[in-house]
A and B are shown apart, each in its own frame.
Chain A
Amino acid sequence: MVIQIILLCGLVIFSVLAILLKDLIKAALSLAVASLLLGIIFFRLAAPYAGVFEISVVAGLITVLFILTIALTKKGDEVTEARLVKLAFPVFLILFLVIDGLVMKSLLQKIPALPSGPETGTFGQVLWKQRTFDLVAQVGVILAGVLAVLALFRKKEEDRDE
C-alpha cells in the first residue's frame, strides 16, 4: 500500500512537472517518467500486459516521437505561458487533487477482489494465447512510430524539389 501511494504520488508529481516546466524537453521527460510510473502501477494492480504496453508504447515510442517533434520545433521560441494560466492551473490542480483524493478513498474501499479468471498466467502465454489481437495493434503502433520518424526526419530540401 505504501509503495502504491509513493508511486501514485510520483505519478502526480511528474505529471505536474510535465506541465509546469518551462523547458519543454524536461517537461517531456517528466511525462515519460510519469508514464513509466503508471506502467508500474498497472503491474502492481495485476494488469501485467497493460503495464507492458503502457511502458513500451507510451513511455517508449511516444516519448521518442515527441522529443523529436520538440527538437524540430525551433529551440528558443518556446511558448510563453500567460500569467493567469499560471495562477489558474494550480487552483485547478488542487481542486482536482482534493476531489481525486475523495474519490480514490471510496474507490479503494469499494474495489472488489480480483476474480481469478482465464487472464492470469505467464505473461507470454497471456500475450500469445489470449491477447493475440493486441499484437496486431502493437505492430501497427511500431509501424506508425517508424513511419513517423521517417516522415519527420525527411530532408527539408526534398520538399522544395518536388
Chain B
Amino acid sequence: MSPTTLLWPILFPAAVAVVLLLIPSRIRYAREILSVMSAGALLYLGFVLFARRNLSLVSDWLGPGINFDLRLYHFSAFILLALSGFLFLICLYSAVKMKNHPRAREYFGYVFLAAAFSNGAVLANNFVLLVFFWEALLITTYALVTLGLKPTSHRTAVKSLLIGGFCDFAMILGIGLLWASTGTLTMDKIQVEPHGLTLAAFVLMMIGAIGKAGAMPFHTWIPDAALDAPVSFMAFMPASFEKLLGIYLLARITLDFFELKVGSGLSILLMIIGAATIVFAVFMALIQKDFKKLLSFHAVSQVGYMVLGVGTAIPIGIAGGIFHMINHAMYKCGLFLSSGSVEHRTGTTELKKLGGLAREMPWTAAGFAVCALAISGVWPLNGFVSKEMVFHGALETGYPIFAIAAWVGAIFTFASFLKAGHSVFLGPRSTEVPKTRESEAPIVLPILILAALCITFGVYNKLPLQHFIQPILHGKAEAAEHLDFTSHALDLFNPVAGVSILCLIIALGIHFYGWNRSGKKAYLASEPIHNLPVLHKLYDLSEARFFDLYEQGVKFLQWLSRLLFRFIDRPVDYVYEKVVTAVGRTFTGLLQKAHNGQYANYLAWTVGGLVVVVWIILQLLK
C-alpha cells in the first residue's frame, strides 16, 4: 500500500462534497444514494487503513519545518475508523431525514467536507497541517448550523464560530510556543516537559482541544445549536465528530507532546475543568424541557468525564477517558438520532407536548432506552465500563473530590434521562401530537446499530479495550505494569461500583419524588430541584445567559471596540479634521489681521525689518 493512500480519506470525501454541491436538486435520490455509498466506501477504507496501521506520507508544503505530513498509526487509525463509522450512520439517517430540507444539497456537501477535514486533522502529523484541517471544521460547523433555517440559526452559527475561533487561535498560539521552544512542528517528534513557556503552550493547546470537544466554558453554543441546527448535525458534530477529535487531541497532548505527571498542577487543572463541566452541565441538563436541548447539555456534561479521565494522568483514567469518548459518541449519537426520529414524526421535541410514544415508535424507544441507560452508566452497558474506569482513575490520584463530582454527575444524568424517557415514551399518550407511526428504516436502523454497539462494547468490553485503547497507551502513560484494564472494569462487586450503583438508585428516587410532587407530570419531575432556594437564583441567571462566557465576551468585545473607537480612533481623526485646520486657521487669521492694507503699516514693517537686520548684522560683527 503506497503512502499516497493516506490522501484518500481526505481527498475522496472532499471530491464527493464537491460533486454533491454540484448535483442539481432535480435528480431524485442521486444525492442520497451517492452520499450513503461514498460513506460506505469510506467506512471500508477506514477498516482497510485500520488493518494497515502504520503509514506515513511527507511532502514539501510551506517551506522549512512545515511539511505536508500525514501519519497513520494505531490511534489515528482508530479515530479514523470511528469517524467513518459515524459518517456512514449519519448519512444513512440523513438520507431520509434531510431529504426534503430546502438546502439538502448544501447539507450533504458540508457533511462530506467536514468528514474530509476531520480525517485530515486526525491524520496530520504536522501542527500546521493539523490546525489547517482543525480550523477548517469551523466553517463547516458554521455552515451546518445555519442550515437549521431558524431565525436565530445564524446567530448560533456565529457563536459557534467565534467560540471555536477563540479556542483555535489559542491553540495556534500554543503551537507557536511549542515550535519556538522545540524547533519542530512534526508532531511525533515532540515530547517536552511542561514548564515555563511550554506550560503556557500546554494550556493553550488544551484550550483548543477541549474547546473542540465542547467542555466548559466553551460549550455554550451547543445547547443553542440543539434548537437552531438540524438534529442530524447535532448527532454528527457535537455528539460524535467533535468529541472524537477534541479528546483525540487532548489525549495526544497529555500523552505525546507533553509529559503530564500525576498530581501535577496541569493534571489538577484538567480534572477541575472536567469535574466542573460534569456537574454544571448536568444541572443544566436536568431542568431542560426540550428533548434536544436536554441531550445537548449532556453532550457537554459527558465531555467532563473524558477530560477528567484524561486529566488524571493515570493509565486507567486515561484509558477510561478515551473509552468514554468512543462510547459517548455512540450513545449520544444514538440519542440525538432518536430525538430526531421523534421530531421527524411528531414535529416537535418539547417534552411537554410529547408522551407515551413507546407504543407507536417501539424501535426508536428501544434504541433510546439502551442509549440512555448506557449514558447513565447502567451495568452492563458500555457507559458503565468507561465511567467506572474514570472513577477509579480519579480515586487513584488521591483527590476523591473529583470522583465525588463525577458521581454527582452520574446521579443527575440518570435522573434527567429518566425524566426524558418517561415524558417522551412512557406515561399517558399526549394529545397534542397526532397519531403517528415508527420512522422509516434508514432512520431507525442507525439508532439500533448504535444501541447494539453500546451493548457490545459494554458486554464485550475487552474487545475495544484491548484492540483500540491499550495500544494507544502502550509505552506512553506512566508505568502501569500491565495495561490490562479489563480486570476490575466489569467487576460489579467492588466499592467503587457499589457507589455508582447507589448513585443510580438515588437518581431513581429523585425522579419519582419529583414526578409525584409535580402532579405526575414527567416533564416537571426536575422542578423540586429547580426550585431549591439558591439553585433557583442560579438557574435564573443562567437562563439569562449570565454564565455564558460568550455573551459576556461579546459584551466585552463591544465595550472594548467602543473604547478603542472613541478614545483612540476618533481623537486621532479629530486631530486631522479639526486641530490641524484650526491651528492653521488661527495662524492665518492672526497674520491676515496684520495685513490690513494700510500703507503706513507696511512701511513700518519694512523699516522695522531693516532695523532688525541691521541689529543682527551688527551683533554678528561684534
Interface size class of A (residues with CB under 8 A): 10 to 19
- Evaluate contact between B600 and A99: CB separation under 8 angstroms: no
Given contacts A19-B600, A79-B599, A82-B598, contact A99 B615 (CB under 8 A): yes
**CB within 8 A of B611: which of A85, A88, A89, A92?**
A92
- Can you list, as one digit per residue, whether each of A92-117 has a CB less than 8 Å from chain B (1) or not (0)? 11011001000100000000000000
CB distance from A117 to the nearest CB of B (A): 27
Interface assignment of B561: CB less than 8 Å from any CB of chain A: no
Q: Which residue of B lies closest to A18 (CB)?
A: B603
Interface assignment of B579: CB less than 8 Å from any CB of chain A: no
- The residue among B600, B601, B611, B615 with the most chain A CB atoms within 10 A of its own CB is B600
Given contacts A99-B615, A103-B614, contact A92 B604 (CB under 8 A): yes
Interface assignment of A161: CB less than 8 Å from any CB of chain B: no
Within B585-620, which residues are at the interface with A (CB < 8 Å)?
Answer: 596-601, 603-604, 607-608, 610-611, 614-615, 618
- Evaluate contact between B604 and A82: CB separation under 8 angstroms: no
Q: Which residue of A lies closest to B615 (CB)?
A: A99
**CB within 8 A of B603: which of A19, A82, A95?**
A19
Interface assignment of A159: CB less than 8 Å from any CB of chain B: no
CA separation between A19 and B598, bound complex, in Å?
A: 12
List the A side residues contacting B596 at CB < 8 Å: 82
- Evaluate contact between B611 and A95: CB separation under 8 angstroms: yes
- Can you list, as one digit per residue, whether each of A1-33 has a CB less than 8 Å from chain B (1) or not (0)? 000000000000000000100000000000000
Q: Which residue of B lies closest to A81 (CB)?
A: B600
- Evaluate contact between A79 and B598: CB separation under 8 angstroms: yes
CA separation between A82 and B508, bound complex, in Å?
A: 105
**CB within 8 A of A85: which of B600, B610, B614, B615?**
B600
**CB within 8 A of A89: which of B597, B604, B610, B615?**
B604
List the B side residues contacting A92 at CB < 8 Å: 604, 607-608, 611
Given contacts A99-B614, A99-B615, A103-B614, contact A81 B598 (CB under 8 A): yes
Q: Which residue of B lies closest to A91 (CB)?
A: B604
- Evaluate contact between A82 and B614: CB separation under 8 angstroms: no
List the A side residues contacting B614 at CB < 8 Å: 99, 103
List the A side residues contacting B610 at CB < 8 Å: 96
List the B side residues contacting A99 at CB < 8 Å: 611, 614-615
CA separation between A27 and B263, bound complex, in Å?
A: 106
List the B side residues contacting A82 at CB < 8 Å: 596, 598, 600-601
CA separation between A103 and B615, bound complex, in Å?
A: 10
Q: Which residue of B lies closest to A89 (CB)?
A: B604
List the A side residues contacting B598 at CB < 8 Å: 79, 81-82, 85
List the B side residues contacting A103 at CB < 8 Å: 614, 618
List the A side residues contacting B618 at CB < 8 Å: 103
CB distance from A93 to the nearest CB of B (A): 7
CA separation between A96 and B615, bound complex, in Å?
A: 10
- Evaluate contact between B600 and A96: CB separation under 8 angstroms: no
Q: Which residue of A lies closest to B608 (CB)?
A: A92
Within A47-96, which residues are at the interface with B (CB < 8 Å)?
Answer: 79, 81-82, 85-86, 88-89, 92-93, 95-96
CB distance from A125 to the nearest CB of B (A): 36
CB distance from B82 to the nearest CB of A (A): 95
- The residue among B604, B607, B614 with the most chain A CB atoms within 10 A of its own CB is B604
CA separation between A85 and B603, bound complex, in Å?
A: 10
- Evaluate contact between A88 and B604: CB separation under 8 angstroms: yes
CB distance from A24 to the nearest CB of B (A): 10
CB distance from B210 to the nearest CB of A (A): 80
List the B side residues contacting A93 at CB < 8 Å: 607
List the A side residues contacting B604 at CB < 8 Å: 85, 88-89, 92
Within B550-609, which residues are at the interface with A (CB < 8 Å)?
Answer: 596-601, 603-604, 607-608
CB distance from A36 to the nearest CB of B (A): 20
CB distance from A116 to the nearest CB of B (A): 29
- Can you list, as one digit per residue, whether each of A31-46 has a CB less than 8 Å from chain B (1) or not (0)? 0000000000000000
Q: Which residue of A lies closest to B605 (CB)?
A: A92
Q: Which residue of A lies closest to B618 (CB)?
A: A103
- Evaluate contact between A96 and B607: CB separation under 8 angstroms: yes
CA separation between A93 and B610, bound complex, in Å?
A: 11
Q: Which residue of B lies closest to A82 (CB)?
A: B598
List the A side residues contacting B615 at CB < 8 Å: 99
- Can you list, as one digit per residue, whether each of B470-491 has a CB less than 8 Å from chain A (1) or not (0)? 0000000000000000000000
CB distance from B607 to the nearest CB of A (A): 5
List the A side residues contacting B603 at CB < 8 Å: 19, 89
List the A side residues contacting B600 at CB < 8 Å: 19, 81-82, 85-86, 89
CA separation between A92 and B603, bound complex, in Å?
A: 10
- Evaluate contact between B601 and A96: CB separation under 8 angstroms: no
- The residue among A19, A79, A92, A95 with the most chain B CB atoms within 10 A of its own CB is A92
List the B side residues contacting A85 at CB < 8 Å: 598, 600-601, 604
- Can you list, as one digit per residue, whether each of B185-221 has a CB less than 8 Å from chain A (1) or not (0)? 0000000000000000000000000000000000000
List the B side residues contacting A19 at CB < 8 Å: 600, 603
CB distance from B302 to the nearest CB of A (A): 90
List the A side residues contacting B597 at CB < 8 Å: 79
CA separation between A122 and B607, bound complex, in Å?
A: 37
CB distance from A73 to the nearest CB of B (A): 12
CA separation between A85 and B594, bound complex, in Å?
A: 11
List the B side residues contacting A79 at CB < 8 Å: 597-599
CB distance from B304 to the nearest CB of A (A): 86
CA separation between A82 and B611, bound complex, in Å?
A: 22
CB distance from A39 to the nearest CB of B (A): 22
CB distance from A29 to the nearest CB of B (A): 16
Q: Which residue of B lies closest to A88 (CB)?
A: B604
CA separation between A82 and B597, bound complex, in Å?
A: 10
CA separation between A95 and B604, bound complex, in Å?
A: 11
List the B side residues contacting A86 at CB < 8 Å: 600
CA separation between A99 and B617, bound complex, in Å?
A: 12
CA separation between A159 and B615, bound complex, in Å?
A: 50
CB distance from B591 to the nearest CB of A (A): 16
Residues of B within 8 A of A (CB): 596-601, 603-604, 607-608, 610-611, 614-615, 618
Q: List 29 A-B contacts (CB under 8 A).
A: A19-B600, A19-B603, A79-B597, A79-B598, A79-B599, A81-B598, A81-B600, A82-B598, A82-B600, A85-B598, A85-B600, A85-B601, A85-B604, A88-B601, A88-B604, A89-B600, A89-B603, A89-B604, A92-B604, A92-B607, A92-B608, A92-B611, A93-B607, A95-B611, A96-B610, A99-B611, A99-B614, A103-B614, A103-B618
Question: What 10 pairs between A and B have smallest CB-CB spacing?
Answer: A85-B600, A85-B601, A89-B604, A92-B604, A81-B600, A92-B608, A96-B611, A92-B607, A82-B598, A85-B598
A-B contacts besides A79-B597, A82-B596, A82-B601, 20 pairs, CB < 8 Å: A19-B600, A19-B603, A79-B598, A79-B599, A81-B598, A81-B600, A82-B598, A85-B598, A88-B601, A88-B604, A89-B600, A89-B603, A92-B604, A92-B608, A92-B611, A93-B607, A95-B611, A99-B614, A103-B614, A103-B618
